[in-house]
Amino acid sequence: MGIFPCLYASLLLLISVQSAIAEEVSAPSRWIGRVAEDRREFGWPGSGLEMVFRGTSLKLRLEDSGNNSAMLDVDGRVSRLDLAKGSKLYVVADGLPNGQHSVRLTRRTEGLFGNTRFLSAETDGSFLQSRPSPRRLLVVGDSISAGYGVEAKTKGCKPDANAETENQYLTYEAITGRTLGADVTTLAKSGIGVSRANDDGEVMAGLIDRLTPTDKNGSPPSGDPDYQAIIVNLGTNDFGSGLRPPTFVKDYAALLSKLRTEHPDALIYAALGPMLSDPDFAAGEAAVKAVVDSRIAAGDTHLHYLRLRVAVGSYGCNWHPSPPTHAAMAQILTDRLRKDLNWSAAP
């Protein structure tokens, strides 16, 4: 007589486990930004994934160095998720009304803190496909576009990159993307420039094709989307502290030529700002404008200079843009895209 209750209890336990994990997948509903899809790894700031599901809960299993953090957007409710070292299962949504939900997880931090790997996702319901936005932006930049130090309370913080205060979600390009309903791919690294860099000497030309920043090499990704607009915000590390790289004009022209070849229909903005002091900014702006004017004269009419130098009322880490500064830059970029691409409200 005692066997049957045990069998019944085991059956109930099995049913309970099966209902708790109605579906498990090893690929997201959609990748965000540039990722190494074959390895399911993402390392660029702002890169990540989206899961769309019908149910009440979602768990993500991720593998990380333990130095990264992410922004978690659950049906528009945003929070921070600090990632642990190694493989861990994170309960990112629970107790939701039974129905369709969207969860986006994107890196706050940049590539030097190591890649994040997506292993699997579980829901008590079923997974759905996610559709990308018809609006797509590519941003090529340095620490400004990576969101370095944006959450710092004082400008006098450590000289090295600080994962605690870095947040790509608060950058000008991320704000513009959310305002206009555009998908944003950010290829940015602190300290990098066009002709020189502040740390390992690696310039953007050697980094721009990589699937993740830590890859040793790369070639133009075959899966890169057709971007309607590309924003190149480089030059701060080239011209800061009185530096004047003699090859900047040649190197910058080569970078724009490469982007034009790979994205023939995109509107390209050669941007600069807002960190350089007056003489350094004047020198950098003159160099960038010289390249832009030369290419326009040669027939590249889908190219513009974009001045992102705004009045700074507060600073992040090491004199970097604060949230209000990024918001002011975002307004300039948003207004320009609305005008040039006829982008009004989010689609």
pLDDT tens string, the chain, 347 residues long: the values are 455 444 444 434 444 444 567 899 999 999 999 999 999 999 999 999 999 999 999 999 999 999 999 999 999 999 999 999 999 999 999 999 999 999 999 999 999 999 999 999 999 999 999 999 999 999 999 999 999 999 998 777 765 557 889 999 999 999 999 999 999 999 999 999 999 998 878 999 999 999 999 998 777 777 788 999 999 999 999 999 999 999 999 999 999 999 999 999 999 999 999 999 999 999 999 999 999 999 999 999 999 999 999 987 788 998 999 999 999 999 999 999 999 999 987 77
Q: Which amino acid is at 261?
A: T
Measured from the Cβ of residue 114, the count of other Cβ atoms closer than 10 Å reads 21
Q: Does residue 264 have a cis bond before it (omega within 30 degrees)?
A: no
Query: Helix, strand, coil % (nearest 5) of the chain?
Result: 30, 25, 45
How would you label 305-337 residue by residue, b for 16+ Cβ within 10 Å and e otherwise?
Answer: ebebbbebeebbbbebbbbebbebbbebbbebb
Q: Which amino acid is at 213?
A: P
N-to-C CA span, the chain? 64
- 340 DSSP assignment: H
Residue count of the chain, please give it: 347
- Check if the beta carbon of residue 275 is closer than 8 Å to that of residue 149: no
Residue 232: strand pairing partners: 140, 270
Closest CA to 115 of 71, 163, 73, 63: 63
Dihedral sign computed on CA atoms, order 90, 95, 99, 104? negative
Instruction: Locate all alpha helices (DSSP H) within 277-342, ordered by sequence.
Output: 278-297, 323-341
- Check if the beta carbon of residue 276 is closer than 8 Å to that of residue 308: no
Q: Determine the distance from the C-alpha atom of residue 253 to the mean position of all C-alpha atoms in its chain, rounded to a whole number.
A: 24
Number of H helices and E strands in the chain, helices first, is 7, 16
Tokens of 214: 């830590």
